A = this chain, B = another copy of it.
C-alpha cells in the first residue's frame, strides 16, 4: 500500500496577524500536523531540553550545518544563530505528517526558495487600522515601537504576492477553516494521487 507523503507548509505574516491563534485552532481540527524544532547556538534556559525545545548546538556545529546546506532557513539574531534543520522535517514528511513552519517573513522567503514544493500561506490582518488596534491592545509598547511594527507590517505585506495562498484574518474561526481547507486541498493535488492508477488497477 502506497503511503502519501505529508505537506511542508510555511505559515507567515506580520506580527499581530494572529498566527498563534490560528495555529491553536488548526490543532483542534487536525491531528496530522507536526512542528519543526529549531536549532540554536544560544545557551539552554532552565527547563529547556535538547531536541524538544531546541537543538542546542555550538557555533562550530551550526556553521558546519550551514556549509552542508542542512537548514531550510537560518538567521543570526542578537549574536546567536537560529535555524530550521531539514533532516527531521523530511523524516516527518516521509512518515505522512504535514509539517507546519510558523516563521517570520524573511525565513519564509528562504524556505520557499530552497523548497519549491512547500505550500506557502500568508496570514494578513484585514486592515492597517485593525492591526494597529490589535498591537495596541496586547502590549504596553511605546508609541514609537508600535509605529515601527506597523511600518514593518506594511513592508512584509508587500511580500504577499510571493505566497501561494493568502488568508485574511478578520474572524479567527474563518481563518482556521481556510487554513484547514488549504491543507486538505493541497493533499488532493493530482500529482500526489497518481499512485491510484497502479494501486487501483487502472492500467490500460
Interface residues of A (CB under 8 A from B): 121-122, 124-130, 153-155, 157-158, 160-161, 163-168, 177-178, 180-182, 184-186, 188-190, 193-194, 196-197, 199-204
Interface centre among A130, A154, A164, A165 (most CB of B within 10 A): A165
Would you give 21 A-B contacts (Cβ < 8 Å), ordered by A?
A121-B188, A126-B196, A128-B202, A153-B202, A158-B202, A160-B193, A160-B194, A161-B190, A165-B188, A165-B189, A166-B193, A166-B196, A168-B200, A180-B181, A181-B182, A181-B184, A181-B185, A182-B184, A182-B185, A185-B185, A185-B186
A166 and B154 form a contact (CB under 8 A): no
Contact partner of A164 (CB less than 8 A), chosen from B129, B190, B197, is B190
Contact partner of A193 (CB less than 8 A), chosen from B124, B153, B186, B188, is B124
Shortest A149–chain B CB gap in Å is: 13
Shortest A131–chain B CB gap in Å is: 8
* Shortest 9 CB-CB contacts between residues of A and residues of B: A185-B185, A181-B184, A166-B193, A181-B181, A127-B200, A128-B201, A182-B185, A166-B190, A157-B202
**Residues of chain B lying within 8 A (CB to CB) of residue A194:** 160-161, 166
B124 and A200 form a contact (CB under 8 A): yes
Given contacts A124-B193, A160-B194, A180-B181, contact A188 B166 (CB under 8 A): yes
Contact partner of A200 (CB less than 8 A), chosen from B125, B158, B161, B181, is B125
